[in-house]
Amino acid sequence: MGVRFSPLALRLWQTRPDRIGIPKGLGGRVLSLAPRFLTLPRLRCYDQSMRKIFSFLVFLALPALLALPVGASSQQAYQDYLYQFDVYRTMYRDFQTARGEFLKFQTLTSQTTALTKTKAMLTQRAMLLHTYLLLLGERLNEDQGLTPEEHLLYRSQLTAELAFLDRQKVSAAAPATLADATNHSKELEERYPKLYAIMREIASELVRGNSLASVRTFDQLFGNAKTIAMDNRNLFPPEKQVTIDRWIVQIATKRTSLQQTLDTFAQTDQTMGKAATQSEIDRWVSESAKSAASAKQQLVELTANLGELAAALQYQY
Amino acid sequence: MEEQLPQPDIATPQPTPVEENVSEQRLTNPLPGWLPTAGVILLILISIFAITNVRRSAAPATPGPAPSAVPSVRSNQPLSPLATQSAFLSLQASLATLSAHVTTLSTQDSTLTPPTLDLPLGFTQ
């Protein structure tokens, strides 16, 4: 005797996904990407539950699969910069060779070759600087130490310089003579001190931002340690309380000294950004490096002191 | 309603509705039931692997924390009641992480050194 199915069962079988097309809704669209075997006869008895489970798990996994580390874009930007630098070096060597031949032989052929190589080098030079500024922009995006106002300031500076370099890239193909190419190059030469100052300032500020992010973490932990110490003060004998108080005062004093170092660091970078010549800028770069080293040393000592405070809280006597 | 829907012709005790438009490919080559479950588990494992790889590649190598200048010989001393509190343990763990991190802070980022350029073209004699 054969089995008779109810009209509902038959209707459900007739309206399975391959019959009605792509189901509506995001879950259905995701499920439409699922292998067709989900509609195999063996699985059709729990189609609905499997569909829901599969959709849910795909939604859970997709963000993780698509998630990229924050540093990935700056790593890519750095690789791009290194590549453009290699290309620039090659083009600059070709330019030097062509320039040498032109200056030596002064023929029309050598002049034409020199002009071609010069224009190619000028274009690549603008591209190289453009790529470097993009690298600074990516690192600025990843920074977690600088204030939003500082981020805004540096991004606006980068935007202005990127626009200038874009114009340089386009206009580098225009010169018809070596004199025109020289005049074109002079536009970058005159702007370069300001551009160099901005590049150095932002690079130094990114180092300061790294320090600031660690200092912020330290401040949170120090605050937590002080709260724990104050809330549980009565658990310790009076002598131990004096020791704990002494550690807290010492750490607070050193923290004030660190803040002065960080403020000096910031002022040095600001002065660097306004310097007029490359040699002056390089001098401020050295000063900033000293501030960075001093800030790091102080932060290491502070962290060690906080460790001593935690050790004091850990033991009864 | 029953008159409109054709009843399937079933010969075996296991009810398997039969229709004229059923794909022969599905009925003749059924895949094992455990395959979609295995696929889902594989997807989860791949995502976990991707996350751990991402964190491993993003996090710089951190050396162990440096010992403090004054070694604390406290192994015989009794612990305070704070030693087992979750807030204190969390503080200690975070402090260890911070200590390892600050020792690797860079004071000069060599990857951000601007390119050295010779700007004047040198055609004027």
Higher pLDDT, A189 or B124: A189
pLDDT band at A40 (very low <50, low <70, confident <90, very high): very low
8-state DSSP, B104? T
End-to-end CA distance of chain A: 88
Q: Is the pLDDT of residue A147 over 60?
A: yes
Using one digit for the tens of pLDDT, what is the confidence trace for B55-78?
655 545 544 444 444 445 556 889
Answer for the pair B66, B103: CB distance below 8 angstroms, yes or no. Answer: yes
Cβ B119–A200 below 8 Å, yes or no?
A: no
Which chain B positions have a beta carbon within 8 Å of A47's beta carbon? none
Q: Which pTM value belongs to this model?
A: 0.68
Q: Which pLDDT score is estimated for A41?
A: 46
The beta-carbon neighbor of A64 closest among B23, B51, B72 is: B51
Answer for the pair A199, B114: CB distance below 8 angstroms, yes or no. Answer: yes
Q: Which pLDDT score is estimated for B101?
A: 95
CA distance B25 to chain A (A): 10
pLDDT band at A274 (very low <50, low <70, confident <90, very high): very high
Q: Which pLDDT score is estimated for A190?
A: 96
Q: List, in sequence order, every residue forming a beta bridge with A315; answer none if it has no partner.
A: B79
Which chain B positions have a beta carbon within 8 Å of A65's beta carbon? 46-47, 50
CA distance B83 to chain A (A): 5
Using one digit for the tens of pLDDT, what is the confidence trace for B98-121?
999 999 999 989 999 999 999 999
Cβ B88–A118 below 8 Å, yes or no?
A: no
Which chain A positions have a beta carbon within 8 Å of B55's beta carbon? 69
From chain B residues 35-94, the ones with a CB under 8 A of any chain A CB are: 35-36, 39-40, 43-44, 46-48, 50-51, 54-55, 57-58, 65-66, 68-70, 72, 74, 77-83, 85, 87-88, 91-92, 94
Judge whether A78 is closer than 8 Å to chain B, CB to CB: yes
Which chain A positions have a beta carbon within 8 Å of B65's beta carbon? 307
Cβ B74–A311 below 8 Å, yes or no?
A: yes
pLDDT band at B34 (very low <50, low <70, confident <90, very high): confident
**CA triple A109-A114-A116, angle to 5 deg:** 100
CA B39, A40, A53, A55 torsion: positive or negative?
positive
pLDDT band at A287 (very low <50, low <70, confident <90, very high): very high
Q: Which pLDDT score is estimated for A20?
A: 42
Q: Which pLDDT score is estimated for B64?
A: 40
Answer for the pair A178, A118: CB distance below 8 angstroms, yes or no. Answer: yes
CA distance B119 to chain A (A): 6
Using one digit for the tens of pLDDT, what is the confidence trace for A71-94?
789 999 999 999 999 999 999 999
Instruction: Give the closest residue to A67 by CA, choosing from B119, B88, B19, B48.
Output: B48
